[in-house]
Structure 1
Amino acid sequence: MAKVRKRKLPSGLIRWQAGYIDGAGERRFKMFEKKSDAEAWLVEVRHDMVRGLHTPGSISPTMKEAAALWIKRCKEKGLEPSTVKGYEEHVKLHIVPLIGAKKASEMTVPAINAYADQLRAAGTSAEMIKKVVGSVGSIFKELRRRGLSSTAPTAGVDLDLPDREDPRPDIPTKVELQAIIAGAVDRWRPVMLVAIFCGLRASELRGLSWLNVDFAAKQLSLTQRADASHRIGNLKSKAAYRTIPCPPIVMNALREWKLKCPKGDLNLVFPNGVGKVESHSNMLERGLHPILVAKGITEAAPVLDADGKPTLKNGEPVMAEVPKYGLHTLRHACASLWIENGHNPKQIQRLMGHSSIKVTFDIYGHLFADAEADQRAAETLQNRLLGS
């Protein structure tokens, strides 16, 4: 039975004690300054108990404790160290300072929205707020797995964040792609050709094995990748296991490269000089970036100091020409070429190894637009309303 009783504390203060019996038969209590607050809380408790969503505050962990359980689970699942490090930064910088002391049972949908408002007030970017709230959602998923929570307070939350940035990825032009291909020589030529014509992620390029190259069928079968720690492992998702057709220029470059490729136990297509996993930074600093600089494919960017802040001169940031693109832009270029060639969204999803069609449309939806068809539709609407 749930009741609210008036209590006089040893200090002489008057408080209202709300009490109820939980699903395990244990009596639980909570004190309030106002009777109305105690009664309102009991209404919520009874409602949650009927739906099986109530976790007593006394057994509910704090968000700091819950986050520690989640990070532990991430490590046990064997997530990449870089992924776990990113999650740990979310916890250290954005979760513990603001809501670490709160009980998980206190984190309702309104509380999540209030938390997002706190992050926004602290100057956190909209993109980071989405990521951090996503991490909070993952924390509650782990709590539900352990029986420490029955709720998912981030599910369906509308963060109402500004969305003013252009979502379209930066894609090299055909002229720039031609210049990159022309400037790629020696060991970097097959790397750039596979990146441009096959759309592999950087980790997939670094982990590509000669066993994945089928010269007879003219295709690549992706089965592994190299992580940030240079370890060979599984691909990003089930959808990433895929087969990609290769044009003749790619196959010919790979045939020639196989004769010179450094040998190693891993049998990699693009290893370093001793046959081990090549680093992502080397692929950029020794591969793509020198090509971009040599071909004049650069852009102005502020020079940063050791702390990552812009270097100033006479109050103005010092600017320098830097390479315009990274390896991932070549993946975007490949997708754009496939779309221009008439591939439909499901084909692009499969070839790019996206986990869902939503990912494909979020990144490349604008490329499927048909301006001529849109114009014909506009003219048809006019004719139907006003006549030809």
Structure 2
Amino acid sequence: MRAFKVKRNSEQYYRVDLPRNLFTDGRRHSVMAVTRREAIDKAQDTIARRRKGLDSSAARTPLTDFLRRFLEFYKTEGGVSLRTWQDYRYHIEANVIPLIGGVVLSELRPVHVDEWMKSLRGRGLGDRTVEYAQSVLRRALQFALEWELLDRNPAGARFRVAKRKRTVKASGTKVRFLNPEQARAFLAAVSGDRHEALYALALTTGLRPEELYGLRLTDLDLAIRRLTVNQVLAKTRRKKGEDVARFQFGPPKTERSRRTIDFPRFVANLLRLEVQTVRKLRQFAGESWQENGLVFPSHAGTPLEERNVLRRFQVICEANGLPKLRLYDLRHTHASLLIHEGVHPKKISERLGHSSIKLTMDTYGHLFEGSDRDSAEKMEKLLGGEPKAPRVLTMPNRNRVADKTADKHTKARLLRASK
């Protein structure tokens, strides 16, 4: 491969002509660089890309332009909820573009991704936030791979590294929850509160907050004390001036999240009172009422404002000497109470709507009190006691059974035959 030296207008550079058979327009195509080595390397890269069917011209655009193109496409064709798409947009605009958006797409390398993730941590972002931002970039670059703009994903290798480097919190606590005494104290503290039924239902069913806010009257059967999770509420992340609804109803998180759950009798009584309260609110609001068929609506019929519910919840906890928790931690409390009562992990997994029992055990496995002690005791019994005399097996005759574990009826039959 030859590189020609070109002098033009007091400037000097090197040009390499590319094979005509790689292009269908019949025109001459070439690459240029300041040094001979750079020109040859650039030509070899372009030839390799053309032979793989990659679009070299589109790959020369800045990463910023590609990411904006990706967001526009992903909004309608990505198969994700509006809230998820808005999370992607946030990380791309806040964490990716300001730092590495100027890098040309075809020149992006794993080292750029490494340095970018390091800079995010340097800005004080937590490990989970950095991992999420990296997963967004990895997903976007995967589209560049599928659109034949790149032949490898520069952020792909970082996915495995991020999982290996995931750290454990210094406290060692995976989840926060109320113990049985605290749970009873909490129910006593919220007695008579406007959201008493919501808190009690969360504590006794383990519903996620978005499932509670999206629960409809048609999903309840108070006669048999049973509910079905059919929809959830997702609050959107609107930009200032953006014409997007503040909330959006959608399907549950996963297929297993669409589930049927029984609840206690005292909760059914609270829900009946809640239905009566909502009926009065509807009559009082009149024409300003926005009907959504919700079990726990606001005074106007719209979904409850999550921040207001959380603020009220934490004030109650603080006033009664209970730990400061999130509303989601009532879900963890529900799981811990079931474990305390000896409910099988498979049933807990189904009740919580987990995608698999593995997720349940990974999250709550450390709460199964005594399970590790039982394992140690079994090993002690098996290996740590006095050694037993080895059992010698011989061929049985009519009066002898070779193994102590032989069927007792067989032994009795042999004894009767010998008489």
TM-score range, shorter-chain basis?
0.7 to 0.9
* Larger fraction in strand: 1
Deviation of 1:340 after TM superposition, in Å, equals 3.6
Q: 1:179 maps to which residue?
A: 185
Q: 2:167 maps to which residue?
A: 163
Query: Is it true that 1:247 corresponds to 2:253 in the alignment?
Result: no
Alignment CA distance shift 1:115-1:260 (3 Å)? closer
The answer to whether the Cα contact below 8 Å between 1:237 and 1:355 also exists between their aligned partners in 2 is yes
Deviation of 1:241 after TM superposition, in Å, equals 1.4
Q: 1:7 maps to which residue?
A: 5
Query: Is it true that 1:76 corresponds to 2:109 in the alignment?
Result: no
Deviation of 1:358 after TM superposition, in Å, equals 5.6
Distance 1:381 1:23 in 2: 72
Q: 2:213 maps to which residue?
A: 206
Out of 87-96 and 260-269, give the one that drifted further.
Answer: 260-269
* Higher radius of gyration, 1 or 2: 2
Distance 2:71 2:141 in 1: 12
Alignment CA distance shift 1:363-1:270 (3 Å)? same
Matches within 5 A, 1:147-296: 148-149=149-150, 151-157=152-158, 158-159=161-162, 161=165, 163-165=167-169, 166=172, 168-186=174-192, 187-228=194-235, 229-262=246-279, 263=282, 265-286=291-312, 288-296=313-321
Deviation of 1:213 after TM superposition, in Å, equals 0.9
Distance 1:161 1:250 in 2: 43
The answer to whether the Cα contact below 8 Å between 1:60 and 1:148 also exists between their aligned partners in 2 is no
Distance 1:49 1:87 in 2: 31
Deviation of 1:31 after TM superposition, in Å, equals 4.2
Deviations for 1:330-384, whole angstroms, at most 9, x for unmatched residues?
A: 0111122233444555544433233455644443343357222332255368629
The answer to whether the Cα contact below 8 Å between 1:225 and 1:233 also exists between their aligned partners in 2 is yes
Length-normalised TM-score, structure 2: 0.72
The answer to whether the Cα contact below 8 Å between 2:211 and 2:232 also exists between their aligned partners in 1 is yes
Counterpart amino acid of residue 246 in structure 1: F
Deviation of 1:201 after TM superposition, in Å, equals 1.4
Counterpart amino acid of residue 283 in structure 1: V
Share of identical aligned residues, percent? 23
Counterpart amino acid of residue 353 in structure 1: G
Out of 341-350 and 186-195, give the one that drifted further.
Answer: 341-350
Structure 1 unaligned regions, length at least 5: 299-323
The answer to whether the Cα contact below 8 Å between 1:18 and 1:39 also exists between their aligned partners in 2 is no
Backbone CA RMSD of aligned residues: 3.5
Out of 276-285 and 337-346, give the one that drifted further.
Answer: 337-346
Length-normalised TM-score, structure 1: 0.77
Deviation of 1:96 after TM superposition, in Å, equals 0.9
Deviation of 1:183 after TM superposition, in Å, equals 1.0
The answer to whether the Cα contact below 8 Å between 1:213 and 1:219 also exists between their aligned partners in 2 is yes
Deviation of 1:90 after TM superposition, in Å, equals 1.3
The answer to whether the Cα contact below 8 Å between 1:4 and 1:35 also exists between their aligned partners in 2 is no
Out of 263-272 and 34-43, give the one that drifted further.
Answer: 34-43
Counterpart amino acid of residue 279 in structure 1: E
Distance 1:35 1:63 in 2: 27
Matches within 5 A, 1:118-157: 118-144=119-145, 146=147, 148-149=149-150, 151-157=152-158
Out of 92-101 and 140-149, give the one that drifted further.
Answer: 140-149
Distance 1:361 1:33 in 2: 59
Counterpart amino acid of residue 264 in structure 2: P
The answer to whether the Cα contact below 8 Å between 1:201 and 1:328 also exists between their aligned partners in 2 is yes
The answer to whether the Cα contact below 8 Å between 1:57 and 1:103 also exists between their aligned partners in 2 is no
Matches within 5 A, 1:327-366: 327-355=327-355, 359-366=359-366
